[in-house]
Chains A and B, each alone.
Chain A
Amino acid sequence: MQSIINSILKNRNLIIYATLSLITFNSLYTNSSVHYNAIGKTGAHFSGKTSIFSSYINSYFNLRDKNQILIEENLELKKIQYKYNYDTQNLESKSLESKSLNTANIILNSINKSKNIIVIDKGISGGINEEMGVITSMGVVGIIKSVTKNYASIISLLNTDLKVNAILKNSSTIGSITWDGLNSKNVKLNDIPLSSSLKIGDTVVTGGMSFYFPKGIPIGSISNYDNNSLEGYYDIDVEVFNDFSSLSNVYILERTDNEEIKTLLND
């Protein structure tokens, strides 16, 4: 206590000077419009800068929540998009109702094997079942292979075992997408006859003739093709829209009419 008092006494001139300066500046601020505006402007600038800084920090810590909100919002938009697509294709409302969307986070992913598998954090308890289609906002990801109570594994599009029905968006020529296990950016579009016209940059989408994906979900665009095949089909490279190395959230498509169709086929 004594040292504090001594320190105050030692610096009394500075303290008095600072106090009187404050009084003076207060007088300037309250009485002079020039100083009021200038100090107010500086104050606003300073407060703006500090607010931005604190806002950055808050945003960083709230990213997870924001991400979740955005996923939910995207989910709703996806549902609206599908409803619109089906409405424009004059399909029965039953088809629409039979499809629902779910979201999940990827917890395990690989792209460097020939049979890549993705694991998500939702399983049977989250409404996930086998053979559901998995997509992102960019396009097709894969198909649910197996499910446990809380997790599910997906056969990635980058899996040599997977074959997805696809069409050329412009010409509606039907083909199928497979992966040759070489490049994680490119897949192959097979079964497109040489009689079809195509060009580099054409979009490839799902064909709708499968249990997993409705028609029109993007897959990729043609990056290269070879029309010198003797078998009568193009050899087409498709650059996928999804970047499989940085996937984090996915949507799972449910087709509740699968069982009914399968029963019909078995009969």
Chain B
Amino acid sequence: MTRESIRNIVFYTTILVSQLLIFNHFNLFNVITPSVYLIIFILYKISYNNTSLIFLGFITGLIIDLAMQTYGCHTFATITICYLRERIEKNSFGVNANLPSAMIKGTKMINRLSFFMLIIVIHSLIYYSLVFFNLELIGRIFYYSLINSIVTFIIVWVLSQLISNN
């Protein structure tokens, strides 16, 4: 097992445990529950297999669903962003999408911002659409998605900058 693999496993486990033990219980103003685990899929290297990413998304979503008793809402939102990630990446970074660390350095800030935001917003919209699952509550779906996307974005952005600096 290479050093990179061990580092990846440690990173994955740390984020997942943090999500399960800390962020899932955040519940600020009964609205905000940041999905910090999205950083796993944001920082996932393009050189790795996209199929593996979808499976990783499924397993991660499943674990969080089991912990939060959301019955598959996280799983579906996560596998969707994993499936769409390649396109979002190309859309955000253009030709620079092939750079190994495009998500944290070597690319324009605006590209990285749009990439982060797209993944987080799409995930939030899908997740809250499934949670409320009622067209009459569309206003609430947008409200929850917006607030949670902003908070998640701030945390994920700060974490990614910390990782980048180290």
| B133, CB-defined interface residue at 8 Å | yes
Cα A20 to Cα B61 in complex, Å, equals: 11
**CB pair A28 B72 closer than 8 Å:** yes
| A215, CB-defined interface residue at 8 Å | no
Cα A17 to Cα B133 in complex, Å, equals: 21
B54 to chain A, nearest CB (A): 5
**CB pair B133 A34 closer than 8 Å:** yes
**CB pair A31 B51 closer than 8 Å:** no
**CB pair B83 A17 closer than 8 Å:** yes
Which residues of A have CB within 8 Å of B83?
13-14, 17
B140 to chain A, nearest CB (A): 14
| A25, CB-defined interface residue at 8 Å | yes
| A12, CB-defined interface residue at 8 Å | yes
A14 — nearest CB in chain B belongs to which residue? B83
Which residues of A have CB within 8 Å of B79?
17, 20-21, 24
Which residues of A have CB within 8 Å of B75?
20, 24, 27
What is the total number of residues of chain A having a CB less than 8 Å from a CB of chain B?
16
Please, what's the 1-or-0 string for A249-264, where 1 marks a CB less than 8 Å from any CB in chain B? Answer: 0000000000000000
A23 to chain B, nearest CB (A): 8
**CB pair A25 B76 closer than 8 Å:** yes
B122 to chain A, nearest CB (A): 14
| A38, CB-defined interface residue at 8 Å | yes
| B58, CB-defined interface residue at 8 Å | yes
Could you say which of A12, A14, A21 contacts B76, with CB atoms under 8 Å apart?
A21
Which residues of A have CB within 8 Å of B165?
none
Could you name 18 residue pairs across A and B whose Cβ atoms are closer than 8 Å?
A: A12-B51, A13-B50, A13-B54, A14-B83, A16-B51, A16-B54, A16-B55, A17-B79, A17-B83, A20-B75, A25-B76, A27-B71, A27-B72, A27-B75, A28-B72, A32-B71, A34-B133, A38-B134
| A115, CB-defined interface residue at 8 Å | no
Please, what's the 1-or-0 string for B123-157, where 1 marks a CB less than 8 Å from any CB in chain A? Answer: 00000001001100000000000000000000000
Could you say which of B54, B65, B133 contacts A38, with CB atoms under 8 Å apart?
B133
Interface residues of A (CB under 8 A from B): 12-14, 16-17, 20-21, 24-25, 27-28, 31-32, 34-35, 38
What is the total number of residues of chain B having a CB less than 8 Å from a CB of chain A?
19
A33 — nearest CB in chain B belongs to which residue? B71
**CB pair A28 B51 closer than 8 Å:** no
Cα A34 to Cα B61 in complex, Å, equals: 20
Q: Which of B55, B72, B134 has the most CB of A within 10 A?
A: B72
Q: Which of A12, A17, A25, A34 has the most CB of B within 10 A?
A: A17
| B40, CB-defined interface residue at 8 Å | no
| B64, CB-defined interface residue at 8 Å | no
Cα A16 to Cα B80 in complex, Å, equals: 11
A32 — nearest CB in chain B belongs to which residue? B71
B65 — nearest CB in chain A belongs to which residue? A27
| B73, CB-defined interface residue at 8 Å | yes
**CB pair A28 B54 closer than 8 Å:** no
For window 16-75 of B, CB contacts with A under 8 Å fall at 50-51, 54-55, 58, 61, 65, 71-73, 75
Could you say which of B50, B54, B71, B133 contacts A20, with CB atoms under 8 Å apart?
B54
Which residues of B have CB within 8 Å of A34?
133
B135 — nearest CB in chain A belongs to which residue? A38
Cα A35 to Cα B72 in complex, Å, equals: 11
- Pairs A-B, 7 closest by C-beta atoms: A24-B72, A27-B72, A17-B83, A31-B71, A32-B71, A28-B72, A24-B76
Cα A24 to Cα B66 in complex, Å, equals: 12
**CB pair A25 B72 closer than 8 Å:** yes
B142 to chain A, nearest CB (A): 19
Cα A21 to Cα B72 in complex, Å, equals: 9
Could you say which of A13, A14, A35, A38 contacts B71, with CB atoms under 8 Å apart?
A35
